Chain A
């Protein structure tokens, strides 16, 4: 259980528009009681939106009953159908978002690994904290090895998570294993935390015969239905509306399943650059109108390839957009894995309240690595900027400092861990690199459920070429050689 902690979720439902940017009670109140008060207000009080999408209930939606109020002679506000709680004013005041205080960034630890609020402390058990640390280190070692392997020409492409390990690993650790996940591409840690094995990573990266994706996707486009993570698509932001729809599916299933069955949510990751796509806006809006149990996690790492956030948007990050869609919102320090975990747990809880509602979390980070192996970021940012960030703060060192502060970690343990993980990664690397490529039939299978008549003629034509010009093709590097095409053709559609 998440303890009551001062994690103030910006809840558009309960406060008039401009104030949502800084929920600050004008009176003094302990953080704890302030938190529970806000939660109480937000989630016990029937929200005006609460019933709109509740397919199982017959009651008249609140917004319909509200309409009649518009005609009351001394009404302070007219309930225009498009803005329900707007009061009249005789002051013509232009709302200037730049005058608002920026949305605060939630942290549990400071950058020296010290707990900021000792009273609340850290709820993560020591053992679990050690597991999280080991996973983050393992991820960063795998990243270093694979980046270098790409440089040596042993795989075509790779993307590192440097600086964002805590976001992926921390958030994934706060979910239930059956929650459904959609990723962008820089969330390797989500897979790792869920139990994707080093062998599975390597098989995908080398697109070999054991690759779950059947050798069809570029490196780092992982996916596995066993861990409830959908396969990554290179096209940015397309997964965000999928997440809304999938969450609606879960909402219906949550409502009809037996009451003691675990309820599920959808979690969707994306970058602050991807959040500029129309799909992001469409997704959050439809998620709000359908009140779906989804947590949208934006990794704001300051860059979209070379584009700095100043060319990407002019609002207060991505978190400020939550209010626009009427979605509860949090902003979190992504370098603080405890903050990430607590925020994600809280968001998960909120997402399941009242049969479902979307939540937006903006995780702040800095992209320490190059965008990908195809990028040289020193063409658009100063080396010193990167070095500064590396030195200043980082999710791995911050947790390490905390662990060391509790005498759970030291230099020897560090050395032992690093050398063990390096060996594990390299031996998985070795195994995967030696395997054959997947069967050629996978070039054609699964486009449709069954091979079409036209495809059949294409396969036949290709097989004919491969057989008549055997010296021109390396079919034997593929499992089953040309014969796999015979299998495909023999299969009755």
Chain B
């Protein structure tokens, strides 16, 4: 478990001989430390997600600019290799620059946020528009709703998705119902975006691993968006800030640093109602979003090689309302579907997708819709690797679905 390259434990004593000396190197947040996600040395499937080569990311400027969703002028422009938190930062920066109404706030946002997404924004745009809030999620989300209802475009940050629950009432009873209950007065809280880092990182345990999207997909009036990459994050966040519906924007925190790709320098807007087919295939459709797309992609590579099959991969992007047509068209073609997400299976997004497929494409199905998801439990520290879907489980699901 402990690699031999680690200095012997007694070396710790050295530190104690000079306790006043500054020892702290530049720290990084929770997302770092690969050492704690472990797969055995002999693993062939698990731990084969390679961010440097994965087809999920644009490793060259050319592929980045081929994206048909980008407008002509953007496709003629430049790209820059950036990670996901920088892409978020660039989108926020553009919104602050071009729309006076944009506000950016949350706990520890002023110094850049614990994941560095708001770095330098307070310095560049002033603390009237980019600021720290007191430590109260219900307070800061309610504040954002109020600001939106009077014409601003607030982007509120919840430090971790695991800590959104104090704001649950504000989101579900207020943000979601604002326009509806205002009736013909038309008052709404459009422009409101609630950003939050979500998902597993390998050692976040109960309160730094959650993906609570299903709690919000049960609420009409909200839009739930989860980007898979820096390019997607930038374009989807800009569209979210421009949208007149309140948006829950969940950022897979493991991707903040891990996902690096070529991203167009110019601003652009990606659709909030379209799923994206990332890879075409004939035999089985995998529907997923966020981090598990990387897992799926690695599993597909192994499965296509081993079973000679052809797998289609779809990124939902907007989890609610979701692009049912794209999913149904694909499943009608392949006849088989697998839904993959990190959060628990019980009443999860997979249940909704599977039920819709069963309802609308029943006669085309060659196998039951398979769900590869977290189990009905909490994410215990030492058990995350067994709970969150990995390459092996997706690979096996492809096999089972094909063999049905």
Among A216, A373, A454, find the residue whose CB has the most chain B CB atoms closer than 10 A: A216
Quick check: is B102 within 8 A (CB to CB) of the other chain? no
Find out whether the CB atom of A433 lies under 8 angstroms from the CB atom of B45. Answer: no
- How far is A314 from B317 in the complex, measured between Cα atoms in Å? 41
Q: Is B305 an interface residue (CB 8 A)?
A: no
How far is the CB of B106 from the nearest CB of chain A, in Å? 10
Q: With contacts A145-B16, A234-B162, A433-B9 known, is A218 near B108, CB below 8 A? A: no
Closest to A464 in B: B396
* A376 near B12: Cβ-Cβ < 8 Å: no
B341: Cβ under 8 A from any A Cβ: no
Q: State the Cβ distance, B103 to closest chain A Cβ, in Å.
A: 15
Given contacts A430-B9, A443-B382, A462-B375, 16 further A-B contacts (CB under 8 A): A152-B12, A156-B36, A215-B383, A216-B381, A234-B207, A235-B165, A306-B111, A312-B135, A374-B30, A433-B2, A440-B386, A452-B376, A462-B386, A469-B45, A472-B45, A472-B390
Interface contact B375-A455, CB-CB below 8 Å: yes
> How distant is the Cα of A370 from the Cα of B114 in the complex, in angstroms?
13
**Contact present for B42 and A471 (CB under 8 Å):** yes
**How far, in angstroms, from A373 to B28 measured CA to CA in the complex?**
8
Task: Choose from A148, A375, A379 the contact partner of B23 (Cβ within 8 Å).
Answer: A148
B residues contacting A by CB (< 8 A) are 1-2, 6-7, 9-13, 15-16, 19, 22-30, 33, 35-36, 38-40, 42-46, 107-108, 110-112, 114, 131-139, 162-163, 165-166, 203-208, 345-346, 375-378, 380-383, 385-387, 390, 392-393, 396
Contact of B12 among A215, A304, A426, A473 (CB under 8 A): A426
Q: Which of B1, B131, B204, B346 has the most CB of A within 10 A?
A: B1
Q: Is the interface of B mostly helix, strand, loop or mixed?
A: loop
A221-245 vs B, Cβ < 8 Å mask (1 yes, 0 no): 1000000000001111000000000
Chain A min CB distance to B330 (Å): 25
Chain B hits for A375, CB < 8 A: 27, 29, 114
Least distance between B133 CB and chain A CB atoms (Å): 8
Q: Which of A144, A311, A375 has the most CB atoms of chain B within a 10 A radius of its CB? A: A311
Q: Name which residue of chain A comes closest to B19, CB basis.
A: A144
Contact B382 A215 (CB under 8 A): yes
- In the complex, 11 of the A-B residue pairs with CB atoms within 8 angstroms, ordered by the A residue number, are A151-B25, A153-B6, A215-B381, A218-B203, A233-B206, A236-B163, A278-B138, A312-B134, A418-B16, A426-B10, A437-B382
Interchain CB contact under 8 A, A471 and B205 = no
The closest CB in chain B to the CB of A466 belongs to: B386
A443 to B206, Cβ gap below 8 A?
A: no
A465 to B389, CA, bound (A): 11
- A148 and B15 contacting across the interface, CB-CB below 8 Å: yes
A470 to B21, CA, bound (A): 47
Chain B residues within 8 Å of A236, by CB: 135, 163
Query: Which A residues touch B9, using CB under 8 A?
Result: 149, 154, 426, 429-430, 433
Q: Which residues of A contact B138 (CB under 8 A)?
A: 278
Partner of B205, one of A152, A217, A312, A433: A217
A176 at the interface (CB under 8 A from B): no
Q: B385 — which chain A residues lie within 8 A by C-beta?
A: 473
Q: Are A422 and B392 in contact (CB under 8 A)?
A: no
A1-9, A118-126, A269-277 - interface stretch:
A269-277
Q: Are B383 and A440 in contact (CB under 8 A)?
A: yes
Check B396 against A144 for contact (C-beta < 8 Å). Answer: no
B16 CB to nearest A CB, Å: 6
Interface range, A side:
35 or more
B44, A471: Cβ atoms closer than 8 Å: yes
Given contacts A145-B16, A437-B382, A472-B392, contact A454 B206 (CB under 8 A): no
Contact A373-B382, Cβ < 8 Å, known A148-B15, A273-B135, A458-B375: no
Docked CA distance A234–B378 (Å): 14
The smallest beta-carbon distance between A355 and chain B, in angstroms, is 32
Find out whether the CB atom of A305 lies under 8 angstroms from the CB atom of B377.
no
Contact A154/B2 with A278-B166, A311-B110, A374-B28 known, Cβ cut-off 8 Å: yes
Which interface residue of A214, A277, A373, A472 has the most chain B CB atoms within 10 A? A472
Would you call A234 and B206 a contact (CB within 8 A)?
yes
For B119, the closest partner residue in chain A by CB is A379
Are A277 and B166 within 8 A (Cβ)?
yes
A141, A207, A429, A477: the one within 8 Å of B16 (CB) = A141
Q: A312-B135, A374-B114, A455-B375 are in contact. Are A478 and B43 (CB under 8 A)?
A: no
User: With a CB–CB cut-off of 8 A, which chain B residues contact A307?
Assistant: 107-108, 110, 132, 134-135
Residues in B with CB closer than 8 Å to A154 are: 2, 6, 9
Give the complex CA separation of A383 and B35 in angstroms: 30
Q: Are B206 and A152 in contact (CB under 8 A)?
A: no
Q: Is the CB of B381 within 8 A of A218?
A: yes
B39 touches A472 (CB 8 A): yes
| A278 adjacent to B139 (CB under 8 Å) | yes
Instruction: State whether B139 touches A374 (Cβ < 8 A).
Output: no
